[in-house]
Amino acid sequence: MNFYLSEEQRLLSSSARRLLERAGLPGIIRNLQLSSAGGHSLDLWHQLVDLGWNGLAISEENGGGGGSLLDLAALLEEAGRALLPRTFLTTTATGLVLERVGSQAQKSRLLKGLAHGSIIVALVVAGRGGPIAGTESCLDISWDRRPVLITGGPVLVSHASAANMFLVIIRHGKDEPGSSGSTVALVPAQEDAVVIEPIRGFGTEGLSMVSFNGAKISEDLILERPHAGTEIASTVLQIVASLMSVEMVGGAAAVLDRTVEYVKHRVQFGRPIGTFQAVQHQIADCAIAVDGARYAAYQAVWRLDRHELAPLEASVAKVAAADAFKKATLTAHELHGGAGYVTDNDLYLFSERAQIDSLTLGSQDDHLAFLAGAT
């Protein structure tokens, strides 16, 4: 594969970086942490929609920009650098999935709304069945009724308060009687049937506990049923995990850049601390980790862009990106000293995102265990 971005992708990346830097996201994020907005800024969301970012990976005939998964990855790396709220990733990934596996009726009903920003999606993952299944929870699906009903929870969900639709993925374990395969459906945020309870925690994710109390799912919003044998869930989880890894790489690179600038100008013992060999070794270790994570993430995206499955690549990317992000933030705190531990410095926002991302869609231990069993 070619690890270099195309000319168009480099232009997209550079223009996105300039726009997001001007947007002043750290200040927006601080305000969101003190509000009940679920970590989602509608003003910023509308700006992204006007730029066509939401529909980048959706075909032109369905109201999008006709871009590829690699185009979206280039954009998401810059989103990670700026700590763009996660609703952008989950919504754009949903549009990409519908383009690939959705029926014509589903595409006609949903893709324009996803591209034009009227649909905001939060990801709900429950059950067992692999390292990128994430949170374990019991969600019961009733298939013998019209309409189909979904009941269960609670499940920990990022940005649930901001979403008007949930992409629900349930992996049914082989040891569950009468169940196998996966269930994937899009569930509208119905007022009585979907209970969202925001929880107090750290980070920029706007976490909530979500319970489904007989939420209705129309037939044309079901992507995969148990026993169908299509394993759409695996494709969805690999795409989201790979794109999240690219986003984490962006966050790690931003922290590394900040730290390099800091050690160039922080004077101690009469000279910049960046001239000390020990500090240079720490910076070099972080740079190697970030570069390796970037290659792993783009390799997974590249395979998925070719409509291939990439379970091993997605897990490797998730492990490498989480490790690089945490290494970059921990090193940054150490080298910034006391300046890195005050909330006037934006560094803590990246550290919180790194910790949450390392546990989302499976921890590093989960993925390493999967990779060990697959070799």
332-341 pLDDT, tens digit each = 999 999 888 8
Report the pLDDT value the prediction gives residue 225, as an integer from 0 to 100: 80
pTM over 0.85: yes
- pLDDT band at residue 203 under the 50/70/90 scheme: low
> Rounded CA gap, 131 and 133, in Å?
5
Q: How far apart are CA 314 and CA 359, in angstroms?
A: 15
Q: What is the largest CA-CA distance in the chain?
A: 76
Please report which confidence band the pLDDT of residue 138 belongs to, taking 50, 70 and 90 as the band edges.
Answer: confident
List C-alpha distances in Å: 340 to 188, 238, 317, 331: 41, 34, 28, 10
Percentage of the chain exceeding pLDDT 70: 89
* CB 282, CB 331: distance < 8 Å: yes
In this predicted structure, the answer to whether residue 211 has a pLDDT above a threshold of 80 is yes
Give all domains of the chain, ordered by start, each with its CATH number: 7-115 (1.10.540.10), 121-224 (2.40.110.10), 232-374 (1.20.140.10)
Task: Decide if pLDDT at 135 tops 60.
Answer: no
Query: 83-92 pLDDT, tens per residue?
Result: 998 899 999 9
Q: List CB contacts of 349: < 8 A, sequence separation 6 or more.
A: 26, 29, 30, 83, 204
Coil, strand or helix: which one is 359?
Answer: helix
Query: Starting from the edge strand earliest in sequence, which strands make up the sheet with 182-188, in order?
Result: 121-127, 165-171, 182-188, 222-224
